[in-house]
Amino acid sequence: MSMELAQASLRFEKLTPAHQERCARFENQEDELVKFLREDAWHQQCLKISTTYLVFRDGEETGIPLGYVALLNDSIRIEENSTLGERMRGKGVRYHYLPALKVGRFAVDSRFQRQGIGGGMLDFAVQTAQDISNDVGCRFLVVDSKRPAEAFYARNGFKPLIHAKSETIKMYLDLAEK
Ligand SMILES: CC(C)(COP(=O)(O)OP(=O)(O)OC[C@H]1O[C@@H](n2cnc3c(N)ncnc32)[C@H](O)[C@@H]1OP(=O)(O)O)[C@@H](O)C(=O)NCCC(=O)NCCS
């Protein structure tokens, strides 16, 4: 399936308790991301800490989720990246922290990876951030990327915020450049 076709045929649903059985069948190579969806996502949503969106193939009303993305508010400290800091100061921005939407958890079921579904999910996150920014300031989409997923985010326009030797890398997408 082409990437464009995958993106066009996706449907996003906000997580509810009614999805529980279908979430129990979600598979991913990262156990922690499976556990989050099965055990924590709804609790966190009730606490207003993150909101999870499930991805389904359009037209399949009872299928398993192809993937999910959990979103929450965040901010980034622009001095953490000297290029970004200088660019924002050049625009007259004097704040140290700027508002962002964070991709908290992000996973595609192992059986459906490399079909463009992750790319479609990022498009959804970008669109959500753009919609929010119409009403409430929101300049960046950010993620603490697991190392193996770094190429995936880079391919979708994310840049490293901080170059640090850690298990995850903080990356950002400037919504004003989209
Ligand atoms: C990262 C992930 C969400 C990507 O989902 P996906 O549906 O496979 O992504 P897409 O099909 O839209 O994009 C695939 C492209 O992204 C890049 N990519 C995806 N996974 C990659 C990986 N593990 N290593 C390197 N590049 C990768 C490649 O460029 C790939 O293109 P190719 O198949 O032509 O080589 C999925 O692999 C996943 O669930 N990984 C495990 C969990 C994880 O790391 N989540 C991110 C947490 S921050």
pLDDT tens column, 168-178: 999 999 999 97
Q: What pLDDT is recorded for position 122?
A: 98
User: What are the domain boundaries of the chain?
Assistant: 3-177
Residue range 3-177, CATH number: 3.40.630.30
Residue 90 near ligand 1, beta carbon < 6 Å = no
- C-alpha 68/C-alpha 55 separation (Å) is 6
Q: What is the DSSP string of the chain?
A: --HHHHHHTEEEEE--GGGHHHHTT---S-HHHHHIIIIIHHHHHHTTS-EEEEEEETT-SSPPPSEEEEEEEEEEEGGGSHHHHHHHHHTT---SEEEEEEEEEEEE-GGGTTSSHHHHHHHHHHHHHHHHHHHS---EEEEEEEGGGHHHHHHTT-EES----SSEEEEEEEGGG-
Residue 110 near ligand 1, beta carbon < 6 Å = no
**Of the residues 52, 152, 169, 170, which should be mutated to test ligand 1's pocket, given the most ligand atoms within 8 Å of the CB?**
152
112 Cα nearest atom in ligand 1: 7
109 Cα nearest atom in ligand 1: 39
Does the pLDDT at position 6 exceed 70? no
pLDDT digits (tens, 9 = 90+) for 7-65: 669 999 999 999 999 999 999 999 999 999 999 999 999 999 999 999 999 888 778 99
pLDDT digits (tens, 9 = 90+) for 58-111: 888 778 999 999 999 999 999 999 999 999 999 999 999 999 999 999 999 999
pTM for this model (two decimals): 0.94
